């Protein structure tokens, strides 16, 4: 390793760490949101998880892989709905990508198979009940993504689940 390569590696190692996650927003024909109940923390989540960037995985690929692993559906994520910078004490910040999963058919809903190592159950949550199920920044992220779907706007930029004002 040359001195220049070593200096660059040292520089990269000194940079702050940021986590990256990706999830998919699925709805049913009544507009309810598919949420999963993890066994490792409080609150409900969307199908998704950490992006395996060390393996070269992109956010879109991570969302698709996590959806397949967690609920057994292999669905190509649709458009990006929200990008959220979420910070919390005692962990690095997370950049969370949220993609449109579309409206699931009855056959797709019947085909859901939970990853039992991480999930207890799944539920179709009415929009007005999302804040009671999704903790922290996730509730705002979901509601902002649903608003972007409803009004046809592009992806929304969020910080801790709140829309960043655009100038």
Query: Is 83 among the domain residues?
Result: yes
DSSP 107-137: HHHHT----TTTEEEEEEE-GGGHHHHB-TT
CA gap 135, 17 in Å, rounded: 23
To which residue do tokens 């996650």 refer? 21
Domain count, the chain: 1
Query: Is 58 among the domain residues?
Result: yes
Residue 7: pLDDT over 70: yes
* Global pTM value: 0.91
- In the predicted model, what is the mean pLDDT of the chain? 93
Query: Is 102 among the domain residues?
Result: yes
CATH number at residue 84: 3.90.79.10
The answer to whether 133 touches 125, Cβ cutoff 8 Å, is yes
CA gap 56, 165 in Å, rounded: 32
Q: Provide the residue range defining the domain that includes 65.
A: 19-163
Residue 86: pLDDT over 80: yes
- Neighbouring residues of 27: CB distance < 8 A, sequence distance ≥ 6: 33, 34, 101, 102, 103, 104
Average pLDDT over residues 96-109: 97
Per residue in 120-148, pLDDT tens? 999 999 999 999 999 889 999 999 999 99
């Amino acid at each position: 390793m040359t001195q220049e390569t070593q200096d660059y590696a040292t520089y990269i190692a000194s940079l702050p760490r940021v986590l990256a996650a990706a999830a998919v927003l699925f709805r049913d024909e009544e507009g309810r949101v598919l949420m999963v109940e993890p066994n490792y923390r409080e609150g409900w989540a969307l199908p998704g998880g950490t992006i395996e960037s060390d393996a070269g995985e992109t956010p879109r690929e991570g969302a698709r892989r996590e959806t397949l692993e967690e609920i057994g559906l292999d669905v190509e994520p649709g458009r990006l709905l929200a990008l959220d910078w979420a910070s919390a004490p005692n962990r690095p910040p997370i950049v969370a990508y949220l993609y449109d999963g579309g409206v699931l058919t009855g056959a797709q809903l019947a085909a859901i198979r939970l990853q039992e190592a991480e999930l207890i159950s799944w539920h179709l949550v009415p929009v007005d009940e999302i804040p009671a199920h999704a903790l922290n920044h996730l509730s705002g992220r979901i509601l902002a993504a649903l608003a972007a779907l409803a009004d046809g706007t592009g992806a929304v930029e969020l910080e801790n689940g709140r829309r960043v004002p655009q100038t």
